[in-house]
């Protein structure tokens, strides 16, 4: 009898936890020095630049080429190491299947 009640309580606790995780959406965002990463819905890799470095982004360069997209626009990119330049230069890595929200112009260390 005791084992049956114990199993029922464990099952109930697991069910409640599962429902809570579904409701809250399991936070899958990681903060970095320059923004945050989250998983993309389609397993592609994206970049959103949301900070204009206090208006000093003329021009904004992405991997040495002019950034022709708007601020806050989600743009497909290749995964890996990238460089943004805009009054300062920042190097960052974007893993495959993620969305990187670039928000802070903190210079790269070393």
Q: What is the pLDDT of residue 42?
A: 95
pTM over 0.75: no
Q: What is the dihedral of CA 51, 57, 62, 65, to 10 degrees?
A: 160
What is the Cα–Cα distance from 43 to 98, expressed in whole angstroms? 7
Geometric angle at alpha carbon 99, from 27 and 28, rounded to 5°: 10
What is the pLDDT averaged over residues 39-57? 88
Using pLDDT thresholds of 50, 70 and 90, give the confidence band for residue 94: very high
Residue 30 or 68, more confident? 68
């Amino acid at each position: 009898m005791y084992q049956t009640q114990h199993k029922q309580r464990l099952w109930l606790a697991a069910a409640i936890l599962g429902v809570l995780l579904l409701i809250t959406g399991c936070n899958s965002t990681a903060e970095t020095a320059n923004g945050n990463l989250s998983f993309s819905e389609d397993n592609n890799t994206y970049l959103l630049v949301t900070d204009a470095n206090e208006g000093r982004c003329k021009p904004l360069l992405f991997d040495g080429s002019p950034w022709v997209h708007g601020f806050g626009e989600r743009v497909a990119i290749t995964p890996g190491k990238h460089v943004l330049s805009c009054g300062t230069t920042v190097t960052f890595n974007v893993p495959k299947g993620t969305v990187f929200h670039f928000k802070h112009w903190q210079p790269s260390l070393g």
